[in-house]
């Protein structure tokens, strides 16, 4: 059983399941996930869109429905014990599930570590009690678990293999049907409803300001897996900006952009690995932000900055997320002569910091090893 509670987890789990099916096609997979897991051959019991929510206050609002799903999964674990439970990130839900699995004698593999290096380091103790093996993405995470006595493997980040810069901006524009004499501005407001609600309106305001200054700018928006297009259309309809919403062709779309403003998350690694000029933005409920400010132990929220250990991609957070500030940063990236060169430098730094290739295959082999031992 595989549990992925959000779009990035579904994407990682889907690649892992696809690799698993190649080396062990007889293994049956079920769980919580989305289209990527489904396409890889998993039987999806519950779609992750019912769980995807970000922020402490936001989670409290959805507590009852999330608890109901949790109880449903625990009941399934009791009635149809899997040979292995694989938990993909999503720690608020998955660590509690690991505890229940431990009581039931079900082996647990945790794929993609909770961000214990950023906040709530005490979770390592809970992991040691309930998790049989950690499969981490970043080399720096290995020491954390080794020191705590938790069995750990760095399988490598799947994006090292999945994201290849095969197309120039010009080639991608042609494939996507964009005019070469126009610049493409990407709005990437996240994969959770709460993120889109918080960030898309201000992104649209900024895009409108940019278009007033530069007539040759088209605005595009990828519809994240698990999000309802009509929900996004409703927000877009309140703006004066013509927006081309696109489902699928994500890497082609990203490569076609001349500048992107993106919600913090795995997507920012993908944008960086494609060498596209961008910056990171994030905003949550004020109470959530005040609590997180006291808890978070690292200076960055963006994964590119975390893995490289430096401020390689600009981050605009909370009160800094204004239409005026987003407009200024977008125009800089659209017009600066060295914008592409800087993005290429970021690409090389991030790729170097991400560690070994073959992430999905390495994770799949670890699963097979654990199944053989159980």
Could you report the per-residue pLDDT of 93-108, keeping only the tens digit for each?
Answer: 999 999 999 999 999 9
pLDDT above 80 (res 22): yes
Judgement on whether residues 334 and 367 belong to the same structural domain of the protein: no
Judgement on whether residues 318 and 201 belong to the same structural domain of the protein: yes
What is the per-residue pLDDT for 297?
63
Structure tokens at 111: 């794929």
Q: Does any domain span residue 163?
A: no
Judgement on whether residues 146 and 227 belong to the same structural domain of the protein: no
| pLDDT tens per residue, range 169-216 | 999 999 999 999 999 999 999 988 889 999 999 999 999 999 999 989
Q: How confident is the model at residue 119 (pLDDT cuts 50, 70, 90)?
A: low
Judgement on whether residues 336 and 218 belong to the same structural domain of the protein: yes
Mean pLDDT within 219-237: 89
% of the chain residues with pLDDT over 90: 69
Judgement on whether residues 223 and 289 belong to the same structural domain of the protein: yes
What is the per-residue pLDDT for 145?
93
Helices 266-273 and 339-353: angle between axes, nearest 10 degrees: 120
Q: Does any domain span residue 216?
A: yes
Question: How far apart are the C-alpha atoms of 233 and 75, rounded to whole Å?
Answer: 37
Mean pLDDT within 322-349: 96
CATH of the domain at 15: 3.40.50.2000
Judgement on whether residues 187 and 120 belong to the same structural domain of the protein: no
Judgement on whether residues 14 and 106 belong to the same structural domain of the protein: yes
Q: Does any domain span residue 206?
A: yes
User: What is the radius of gyration, based on Cα positions, of the chain?
Assistant: 21
What is the per-residue pLDDT for 118?
59
Judgement on whether residues 138 and 240 belong to the same structural domain of the protein: no
What is the per-residue pLDDT for 122?
76
Count of all residues that appear for the chain in the document: 374
Question: How far apart are the C-alpha atoms of 359 and 337, rounded to whole Å?
Answer: 35
pLDDT above 60 (res 55): no
Using the CB atoms, write b or e for 272-290: b if 16+ within 10 Å: bbbbbbbbbbbbbbeebbe
**358's torsion region: left (phi>0), alpha (psi -120 to 50) or beta?**
left
Q: Does any domain span residue 105?
A: yes
Judgement on whether residues 298 and 209 belong to the same structural domain of the protein: yes
Judgement on whether residues 178 and 34 belong to the same structural domain of the protein: no
Cα 256–Cα 258–Cα 264 angle in degrees, nearest 5: 95
Judgement on whether residues 333 and 368 belong to the same structural domain of the protein: no
Q: Domain tally for the chain?
A: 2
Structure tokens at 86: 């694989």
Q: Does any domain span residue 141?
A: yes
Judgement on whether residues 365 and 349 belong to the same structural domain of the protein: no
Name 170's Cβ contacts closer than 8 Å, sequence gap at least 6.
180
Q: Does any domain span residue 164?
A: no
From first CA to last CA, the distance across the chain in angstroms is: 14
Question: How far apart are the C-alpha atoms of 186 and 320, rounded to whole Å?
Answer: 19
Q: Does any domain span residue 245?
A: yes
What is the per-residue pLDDT for 323?
97
Question: How far apart are the C-alpha atoms of 326 and 77, rounded to whole Å?
Answer: 46
Cβ atoms of 262 and 280 within 8 Å: the answer is yes
Mean pLDDT of the residues in the chain: 91
Q: Does any domain span residue 220?
A: yes
Structure tokens at 362: 């390495």
Residues paired with residue 222 on neighbouring β-strands, in sequence order: 246
Instruction: List the domain range (segments joined by +) for residue 8.
Output: 2-158+358-373
């Amino acid at each position: 059983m595989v549990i992925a509670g959000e779009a990035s987890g579904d994407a990682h789990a889907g690649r892992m399941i696809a690799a698993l099916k190649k080396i062990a096609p007889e293994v049956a997979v079920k769980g919580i996930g989305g289209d990527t897991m489904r396409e890889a051959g998993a039987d999806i019991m519950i779609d992750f869109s019912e769980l995807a929510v970000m922020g402490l206050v936001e989670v409290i609002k959805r507590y009852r429905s999330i608890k109901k799903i949790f109880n449903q999964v625990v009941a399934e674990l009791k009635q149809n014990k899997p040979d292995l439970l694989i938990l993909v990130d999503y720690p608020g839900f998955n660590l509690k599930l690991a505890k229940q699995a431990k009581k039931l004698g079900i082996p647990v593999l945790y794929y993609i570590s909770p961000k214990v290096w950023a906040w709530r380091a005490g979770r390592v103790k809970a992991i040691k009690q309930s998790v049989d093996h950690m499969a981490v993405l970043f080399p720096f995470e290995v020491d954390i678990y080794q020191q705590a006595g938790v069995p750990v493997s760095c399988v490598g980040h799947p994006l090292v293999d999945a994201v290849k810069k095969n197309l120039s901006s010009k080639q991608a524009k042609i494939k996507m049907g964009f005019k070469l004499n126009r610049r493409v501005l990407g709005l990437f407001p996240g994969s959770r409803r709460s993120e889109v609600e918080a960030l898309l309106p201000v992104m649209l305001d900024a895009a409108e300001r940019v278009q007033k200054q530069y007539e040759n700018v088209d605005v595009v928006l990828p519809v994240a897996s698990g999000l309802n297009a009509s929900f996004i259309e409703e927000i877009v309809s309140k703006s004066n900006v013509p927006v081309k919403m696109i489902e699928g062709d994500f890497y082609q779309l990203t490569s076609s952009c001349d500048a992107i403003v993106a919600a913090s998350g795995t997507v920012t690694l993908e944008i960086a690995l494609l060498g596209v000029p961008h910056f990171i933005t994030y905003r949550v409920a004020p109470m959530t932000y005040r609590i997180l400010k006291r808890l978070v132990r690292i200076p960055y929220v963006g994964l590119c900055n975390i893995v490289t250990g430096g401020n390689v991609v600009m981050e605009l957070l909370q009160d800094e997320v204004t239409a005026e500030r987003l407009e200024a940063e977008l125009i800089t990236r659209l017009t600066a002569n060295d914008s592409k060169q800087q993005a290429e430098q970021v690409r090389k730094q991030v790729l170097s910091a991400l560690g070994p290739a073959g992430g999905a295959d390495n994770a799949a082999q670890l699963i097979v090893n654990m199944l053989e031992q159980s």
